Amino acid sequence: LVAEHGLKDEEGYPLSKELLLLWTMRAAHQPLFKNRGIRVNAVSPGPVETPILKQFRAVLGDARVDSDITRVGRAGTSADIAPAVLFLCSDGARWINGANLAADGGLEASINAEVLGF
């Protein structure tokens, strides 16, 4: 899809992530899941110290990744993300469906605040 529409490599990841979030909202209300009592949610981690972080550096560049890490104080770890996933799988999240949980140390909030000028 990215190659077909001439998108740059660094645009592919954010586009695919946005499409996944749209799919999450739509799938949450499709009979395939809804009629079976299956909730569909997404978790969006920020920069996390996993092997894929090297790929992000290769595609997005060190400056972008380092900037994101600086915004939140440190890169996350799998131990930072796992509790968010466990929560969404728990009965405590029984009324959460079609949502995206940003488990990103506040990265999304920081970027949105900057874009919105506050």
What CATH number is attached to the domain comprising 92? 3.40.50.720
Give one word for 56, left, alpha or beta, with left for phi > 0 and alpha for psi -120 to 50: alpha
Q: What is the pLDDT of residue 14?
A: 83
Establish if 66 belongs to a structural domain: yes
Q: Identify which has the larger pLDDT, 38 or 11.
A: 38
Establish if 42 belongs to a structural domain: yes
Q: Which of 1, 5, 11, 13 is catalytic?
A: 13
Establish if 1 belongs to a structural domain: no
Domain that residue 57 falls in:
9-116
Prediction pTM value: 0.86
Summarised one tens digit per residue, pLDDT across range 52-68 is 999 989 988 999 999 99
Establish if 61 belongs to a structural domain: yes
Domain count, the chain: 1
Cα–Cα distance between 59 and 52 in angstroms, integer?
Answer: 11
Establish if 89 belongs to a structural domain: yes
Maximum distance among all Cα pairs of the chain, rounded to whole angstroms:
46
Give the lowest-confidence range in 11-15, 68-72, 82-86.
11-15
Token couple for 115: 């874009």
Establish if 4 belongs to a structural domain: no
Cα–Cα distance between 109 and 53 in angstroms, integer?
Answer: 21
13 is catalytic: yes
- Reference 106, options 59, 46, 55; nearest CA is 46
Establish if 3 belongs to a structural domain: no
3-state secondary structure of 41: coil
